Structure 1
Amino acid sequence: MGESPNTMDDYMIMSERTARKNLYTLSRGVVETFGDVYLWKPLLHDLQELYVKHEERHGFPRMIGSIDCTHWKWKNCPVAWKGQYVSGHHGSPSLVLEAVASRDLWIWHAFFEVVGSNNDINVLDQSPIFDDLLNGKALDAPFTVNGNEYKYGYYLTNGIYPQYSTFVKAPPSGSKTRQFF
């Protein structure tokens, strides 16, 4: 609900320590219950299934998924932290979640910002999503489009993301063209 653990002190007659412990227990329960189905990195077989699903549904050949960030206003941000979580274009403290998920709710990448990161690019720069690629551990999932061989799939993004080889910008709204390569 966006409340800090301190808000539970009076309402639930619960200490901050107990509130944090319960939040941790709930989080572990979610991971243990849903982790095997919804919270894991794709394997080669999974990537190939994602390729097929995205091409059938959206007409994008070999797309891994869409990547984007969502910003949540943090109304109960502690006063001492506000300067670290306020960006110029939001004007109030917010948290940023970067995620990649498929239509069947398989969340295979989620990353919350670190202190001082208040926009999509700063979050991307610190996100572990490309660590395997940068460290040479990424799965080779080759494909060919228009006679060009590609080693890895790509993510569909909006216009704010940099010109990386793994990003393809979505066509403008209402556009009928889907020729990216």
Structure 2
Amino acid sequence: MEGENRYFKQRVNAAGKLGFTALQKCTAAIRQLAYGVASDLLDEYLQMSERTAREALGHFCSGVIRLYGRTYLRRPTWTDFQRIYDVHERVHGFPGMIGSIDWSHNDINVFESSPVLEDLISGLAPSASFYANGNFYQRGYYLGDEIYPKYATFIKTFTDPIDEKRKLFKKKKESARKGIERAFSVLKRR
């Protein structure tokens, strides 16, 4: 950030004292984002005013968008989906899985306003096909529970599996969802 944005360069302030470093300003911004704290809560920890913390957050977000927007803050491409598929298959054993959503963590609210869901529903999402058990599928899927809309992109578990194959699927699916939920819970708490 310091190399890309003049705001993050340490300068002498009006009183003739050195201002905050790039590290302090970035820390203020990241703490606000990670912990969801108000700007005025950083005055004791960083000795930074509410206004400075709020400005740091604005400049930080603008900097992230400018520096990383084209690479990371965009709609996923076919190649992105293939990488996601590879990771989920290797880690969870589910070919074609894009991710997991969970009602209790409000993921559906974020997902419903996501251009990714709009693209999936309207058929505009990249055709990131895959094979599973010898069958061809045009697009990936998300693991979810019974409360989600009946879209082909949401794979729900069996409520009462009747055979060993369905029991194993339910167990692996719930394990994958729990792992993803735990990771998001840790991030949310931090």
What is the one-letter code of the residue matched to 2:37? E
Distance, in Å, in 1 between the alignment partners of 2:65 and 2:147 is: 31
> Per the alignment, in what secondary structure is the counterpart of residue 61 of structure 1?
coil
8 A Cα contact 1:153 1:166, kept in partner? yes
Structure 2 unmatched runs, 5+: 1-34, 160-165, 174-190
Verify: 1:14 aligned to 2:70, yes or no.
no
Q: Does the C-alpha gap of structure 1 residues 178 and 5 become closer, same or farther in structure 2, counting only changes over 3 Å? A: same
Per residue, is there more helix in 1 or in 2?
2
1:42 aligns with 2:76: yes
Q: 1:151 aligns with which of 138, 141, 162?
A: 138
Inter-CA distance 171–58: structure 2 relative to 1 (3 Å threshold) = farther
How high is the TM-score relative to the length of structure 1?
A: 0.52
Aligned 1:46-125 pairs, distance under 5 A: 46-68=80-102, 71=105, 98=107, 120=108, 122-125=109-112
Distance 2:67 2:42 in 1: 26
The counterpart of 1:177, out of the listed 144, 168, 186, is: 168
- Number of residues paired by the alignment? 130
Give the secondary structure class of the aligned counterpart of 1:156. strand
Q: Percent identity?
A: 42
Q: Which amino acid in structure 2 is aligned with residue 53 of structure 1?
A: V
- Give, in whole Å, the separation in 1 of the partners of 2:123 and 2:131: 21
Listed one character per residue, the Cα deviations across residues 56-97 of structure 1 (whole Å, up to 9, x for unaligned) are 3222121122234675xxxxxxxxxxxxxxxxxxxxxxxx5x
Deviation at 1:167, TM superposition (A): 0.8
Unmatched tracts of structure 1, length 5 or more: 72-95, 99-119
Q: 1:125 to 1:48 in 2, by over 3 A?
A: closer
More strand by share: 1
The Cα of 1:44 is off from its aligned counterpart by 1.1
2:58 corresponds to which residue? 24
Kindly name which structure, 1 or 2, has the bigger radius of gyration based on alpha carbons: 2
Structure 2 letter corresponding to 1:14: S
Q: Kindly report the root-mean-square deviation, in angstroms, between the aligned alpha carbons of the 2 structures.
A: 3.7
2:129 to 142, 149, 162: 142
The code of the aligned residue for 2:126 comes to L
